[in-house]
Amino acid sequence: MNRDMTLPTEARRLCLNSSTHEAAARFEQQGIDADRLENLLHTPPTEREKARTELVELHDAWNRSTDMVVHVPEQRTAQPHGLLIALHGVGGTGEKVALHLQQLADTCGAILLAPTAKRPVLDSNNLDLAGIRGREFSEARWTYDPGDFPLQALAWGRKNLNIDVDRCGLVGTSMGAIAVWNITSRYWDRWSMAAPINGAPSMWEIFGPDRVVRKLLRNLTNVPLCAVHGQQDRQIPAALDKEAVDYLRSIGHPEVSFVGVAQGEHNLSTMDLQRGQPQFERIAELYRQARRPQWPSKLRHFASSGDSGRAHWLALEGITQGKIGSFKACVSDRAKIDLSVTNAARTRVFLSSRLVDPGQVLITLNDATRVVNFKPTLLDTVKTYVDAGADPALMAQMVVELDVPEIPECEDK
């Protein structure tokens, strides 16, 4: 059957269900070039999702499976649904946390995805959860690896649902809130907003500032965030959330807030997340107003590993062990890119006509300059879309790999 590849859903389906070469050839046959394909894949779908609540099977990068609740509210406007991913706490499940957050998703006009955590595949010291007791924590938990269920749920939503991919928020409670802080600070370019409830960036902050976490928190100045915490919480001190919010304000975060719930304890059931309550309304308002920016011309990013080395159109590779890799990036005149990179061996630049014009592009990396002939191709456009888990904001029409000339590391003031 001949399908109309000018429809966003059909273009997405062809990219995901065919080989890169087959998909590129089909698009070329229909007169769709790299620019048009990129626009198609970033166009919000017109097809509506049927209202439903169901349990599906979600797979991680190691082919393990878990249950995930999918709650689709009634679509009451012409605007397509957004996505809200919910992460439960220790001993919880996706089904349990979804019961508390369905009303929030309905109010936001968002499809709710709530996976259930599994024990990590890879060895972890768990210090962010259990403090100095570290490895004694052996429950199922969230990790910040892109192959784990939180980011795989996000990719599943983009691949399988008709959603606005620039309205994807992350909310979590307890252990899930700690994951919200850490996932959004590492992969901030995937999210439109974040709402940790009764969590903290790091349990180590009970003893003093966590230097690595504080460095990564700087990435969150790009993500609207509301931290909600019960003032009667005896498991995770509310001060940890409040201090993190104060820190973000001190470094210029334009949209960060803290809501204390006077009678709220650690359990989500005590937090009164109901319409009309300040904590509920603040999260809902933040979600409705937030939208992920597309192809920003200026970037600043910190990364503790290569897994989290990318932000929008630039990625770090070969980050020095024990160091925080970082970059500053700026596009000017649509033909010139200036990059400053520390503590990384290589970088990849993801080029698109949304960022620079085709033709000669001058790239300066740590004062070393080279000229790149930017020629958009359908092959690169399809491949990067698939590699990014069907995220059109992370696709590119050409990828340039560069070795990084060394420069002395400078501490931010």
State pLDDT tens for residues 273-322: 999 999 999 999 999 999 999 999 999 999 999 999 999 999 999 999 99
CATH 3.40.50.1820 fits 52-289, yes or no: yes
Rounded Cα gap, residues 313 and 325, in angstroms: 16
Mean pLDDT across 372-385: 98
CB atoms within 10 A of CB 369: 11
Length of the chain: 413
**Looking at per-residue confidence, does 182 or 211 come out higher?**
182
DSSP for 12-33, please give it. Answer: HHHHHHS-HHHHHHHHHHTT--
What count of Cα atoms within 13 Å lies in the side-chain half-sphere of residue 85? 32
Residue 4 has pLDDT above 70, yes or no: no
- Scanning the structure block, which residue is given the tokens 């070393």? 368
**Tens-place pLDDT, residues 61-113:** 999 999 999 999 999 888 999 999 999 999 999 999 999 999 999 999 999 99
User: Whole-model pTM?
Assistant: 0.94
The answer to whether residues 147 and 120 touch, using CB atoms and an 8 Å cutoff, is no
Instruction: Using only the alpha carbons of the chain, give its radius of gyration.
Output: 21
Mean pLDDT across 260-269: 97
Rounded Cα gap, residues 317 and 402, in angstroms: 10
Q: How confident is the model at residue 131 (pLDDT cuts 50, 70, 90)?
A: very low
The answer to whether residues 142 and 150 touch, using CB atoms and an 8 Å cutoff, is yes
Tokens linked to 335: 């033909």
Residue 2 has pLDDT above 60, yes or no: no
**Looking at per-residue confidence, does 1 or 4 come out higher?**
4
Residue 182 has pLDDT above 70, yes or no: yes
- Structural domain boundaries of the chain? 52-289, 298-403
Q: Pick from 155, 158, 153, 118: which is nearest to 138 by CA?
A: 118
Mean pLDDT across 350-379: 97
Rounded Cα gap, residues 395 and 399, in angstroms: 10
Residue 134 has pLDDT above 50, yes or no: no
Q: How confident is the model at residue 46 (pLDDT cuts 50, 70, 90)?
A: confident
Distances (CA, A) of 103 to 96, 98, 280, 406, 407: 13, 9, 9, 51, 51
Q: How confident is the model at residue 210 (pLDDT cuts 50, 70, 90)?
A: confident
Residue 379 has pLDDT above 70, yes or no: yes
CB atoms within 10 A of CB 18: 15
Residue 136 has pLDDT above 70, yes or no: no
**Tens-place pLDDT, residues 159-175:** 999 999 999 999 999 99
Residue 184 has pLDDT above 50, yes or no: yes
The answer to whether residues 223 and 312 touch, using CB atoms and an 8 Å cutoff, is no
Mean pLDDT across 216-235: 97
Q: How confident is the model at residue 413 (pLDDT cuts 50, 70, 90)?
A: very low
